[in-house]
Amino acid sequence: MQFSSALLENAVNEFSKLPGIGRKTALRLVLHLLKQEEEDVQHFSEVVSRMRNEIKFCQRCHNVADADICSICANSMRKQDVICVVENIRDVIALESTQQFSGTYHVLGGVISPLDGVGPSQLNIDTLIHRVQKEEIREVIFALSPTIQGDTTIYYIQKKLNPGVRITTIARGIAFGGELEYADEMTLARSLQNRLPIESYVSNK
């Protein structure tokens, strides 16, 4: 692509560094911004730069936060003795969007994956074990991806947790709206194994 303006070219280069944004899409986004009011683009630019400079990570659960402790940990209405262990911030947002969970979170920052060079020491596992020991936690819910790496991580952590704590994982099964015939064997087998009494199914509806 040939640009007659270096300012335009630099902006397109910056946008095309973003994941999933090619040069054509980057150009479209930049030309869109070019058509907006100067203040709006100024605001866009400031919000992005403030976000990166001022955002913090919760000292307790490693979620994104505007202060030292995130708004979920700081909320006394939530069950502080239940921890849901997730891989990343996106999972927190997904679970919060269900509005079904009223405990706290713990963001691991990934799962144990020796092939990718990710061992337990790179993840926020020590702080989780410390939390469970110190805070009289009643239940630890694992909400990790149903992969070998996820299962390994669950296995590794649960061996280190106090024996008194209740440890659960989110249910695996056929997704809502999913078709039985297209489900893989592993999922189908697990969903058969962990079948539910019909009453609990009807009451959840």
Q: Can you give the binding site for its own copies, defined by CB under 8 A?
A: 1-8, 10-11, 13-14, 17-21, 25, 27-34, 36, 38, 41-55, 58, 63-66, 70-72, 88-90, 92-93, 96-97, 99
Residue closer to its own copies (CB basis): 70 or 111: 70
- CA 176/CA 156 separation, integer angstroms: 30
Question: How many CB atoms sit inside 10 A of residue 105's CB?
Answer: 26
Are the beta carbons of 187 and 177 closer than 8 angstroms? Answer: no
- CA 38/CA 96 separation, integer angstroms: 35
Both tokens assigned to 4 = 């007659």
Residue closer to its own copies (CB basis): 44 or 201: 44
Q: How far is the CB of 62 from its own copies (least distance, A)?
A: 11
State whether residue 129 is helix, strand or coil: helix
- CA 180/CA 182 separation, integer angstroms: 5
Residue closer to its own copies (CB basis): 34 or 129: 34
Q: How far is the CB of 183 from its own copies (least distance, A)?
A: 24
Residue closer to its own copies (CB basis): 77 or 198: 77
Which of 146, 95, 149 is CA-nearest to residue 123? 149
Q: How far is the CB of 147 from its own copies (least distance, A)?
A: 20
Question: DSSP character for 113?
Answer: B
Are the beta carbons of 168 and 141 closer than 8 angstroms? Answer: yes
Residue closer to its own copies (CB basis): 89 or 174: 89
Are the beta carbons of 129 and 102 closer than 8 angstroms? Answer: no
Q: How far is the CB of 114 from its own copies (least distance, A)?
A: 22
Q: How far is the CB of 191 from its own copies (least distance, A)?
A: 26
